[in-house]
Amino acid sequence: MKIFCGIDWAESHHDIALVDEDGELPAKRRIADDAAGYRLLLDLLAEHGDCSETLIPVAIETSRGPPVAVLRTGDRKLFAISPLAAARYRDRHGVSRKKSDPGDALVLANILRTDMPMHRPLPADSDQSRAVTVLARAQQDAVWNRQQFGNQIRSLLREYYPAALEAFQTKAGGLARPDARTLLVAAPTPARAAKLSLAQLRAALKRAGRTRGVDAEAERLRDLLRSEHPRHPKAVEDAFGHQLLALLKQFEAACQVGDDLAQAVETAFREHPDAEIYLSFPGLGVQLAARVLAEIGDDRTRFADARGLKAYAGSAPITRASGKKSYVGRRTAKNDRLMHAGFLWAFSSLRASPDADAHYRRRRDHGDWHAAAQRNLLNRLLGQLFHCLQNRRPFDEQLAFAVPQRPASAVAA
């Protein structure tokens, strides 16, 4: 008798339900979130026929965490069911809208019993790929945190210190530049900034790591910081300065974390066997390529064809049709991290690849807005990436953007 397992996970405990192919419940149990609890889980599965030849499939509402790590052994099929999908299945078992943890575990087990072919198991990614996933997502979060702190500092400077914004907002990196952070720490208020001498400004720039054009930059900063702007009373200005220093401590930590994780990402990514294929694509540097690899993985059987990858990324349009009505629009159910990296990839490829830029321009001339044209370009690039990964070959721009030739009969007509 075939057995299916459903696990409703929580922070301190997990509910387990085993269902056979007839819908009967041969076992259920609650385990603690510790090593002893996971041993009970494996023993319970073994009691009902779980072995290396016949591994019991498991459904759970998450794709990460200790339960997934414990169960992800051998060729076991592990299904991460969306909580939204599980909620829809719950309504099939009753209209009272009652809910409980053991009941949710039973619902998850029944999803596999009735509709397992309709759900996709977790991909069998290598340990290298999963390590890149951890680091790339952490680095992406660090960049977002850094941007958030930078936006807060920018908003604060607009209130009382516009000269600092004028000094750095036009430079690459903006307020995240080391010289900008060093100067703001040395002079958190306009009054203190106006008193800085050329020697002090030169010293601050050198502490930030600048080695070229120090004298010219120091003179530029002195003129900007001593220019006239509306000022708050001294007490209010000093209060703003204390707030700025507090934000700068968090900003400095976020910048350092982002840099450290970027180095770790580069090391892990370059050790992956698919790294050269990713880096052969226009617009993909190490960090961006690592983010794409992190979300796609290296399981070649994860997507049956390129259309599956495009739908997963959200670049392929979705059609809603009913009767005489039909609507084609952008896909909202997608991997948001992959779509974010994809938009950056498509945008950066415009400079790196003349053919990618020409494809984008054709879509704009066709009537697409900027976002739609970028999404179409990303769709094309993802199709080429799928082909290159499946065939273990680098990107070839002439083949990727080749215009299909019309048949001779069609030309003659």
CA-closest candidate to residue 120, choices 59, 178, 208, 165: 59
Check pLDDT > 80 for residue 410.
Answer: no
Q: What is the pLDDT of residue 411?
A: 44
Model-level pTM? 0.84
CA-closest candidate to residue 248, choices 152, 143, 361, 373: 152
Taking only the tens place, the pLDDT of each residue in 244-269 is: 999 999 999 999 999 999 999 999 99
Phi, psi values for residue 231, rounded to 5°: -125, 150
Q: Which of 51-55, 176-180, 347-351 has the lowest mean pLDDT?
A: 51-55
Q: Give the separation between CA 259 and CA 240, rounded to whole angstroms.
A: 28
Rounded alpha-carbon distances, angstroms, from residue 123 to 77, 79, 265: 9, 9, 21
| pLDDT band per the 50, 70, 90 thresholds, residue 406 | low
Helix (H, G, I), strand (E, B) or coil at 25: coil
Q: How many C-beta atoms surround the C-beta of residue 201 within 10 A?
A: 24
Instruction: Fill in the DSSP letter of residue 54.
Output: S
Q: What is the enclosing helix (H) or strand (E) of 220?
A: helix 214-225
Q: What is the dihedral of CA 155, 160, 164, 165, to 10 degrees?
A: 40
Tell me which residue has tokens 């080749």: 402
Q: What is the pLDDT of residue 227?
A: 86
For residue 30, what are the β-bridge partners?
A: 15
Taking only the tens place, the pLDDT of each residue in 192-218 is: 999 989 999 999 999 988 888 899 989
Check pLDDT > 90 for residue 289.
Answer: yes
| Residue 123 tokens, joined | 């991909």
Q: Give the separation between CA 290 and CA 284, rounded to whole angstroms.
A: 9
Q: What is the pLDDT of residue 403?
A: 61
Check pLDDT > 70 for residue 236.
Answer: yes
Helix (H, G, I), strand (E, B) or coil at 67: helix
Check pLDDT > 80 for residue 26.
Answer: yes
Contact 319, 328 (CB under 8 A): yes
Q: Give the separation between CA 81 and CA 79, rounded to whole angstroms.
A: 6
Phi, psi values for residue 9, rounded to 5°: -95, 150
Taking only the tens place, the pLDDT of each residue in 82-124 is: 888 888 888 777 777 778 888 889 999 999 999 888 888 888 8
Please report, as a single letter, which amino acid is at residue 130.
R
Q: What is the pLDDT of residue 404?
A: 54
Helix (H, G, I), strand (E, B) or coil at 309: helix
Return the half-sphere exposure (C-beta side, CA atoms, 13 A cut-off) of residue 290: 27
CA-closest candidate to residue 376, choices 287, 319, 313: 313
CA-closest candidate to residue 358, choices 373, 339, 337, 379: 373
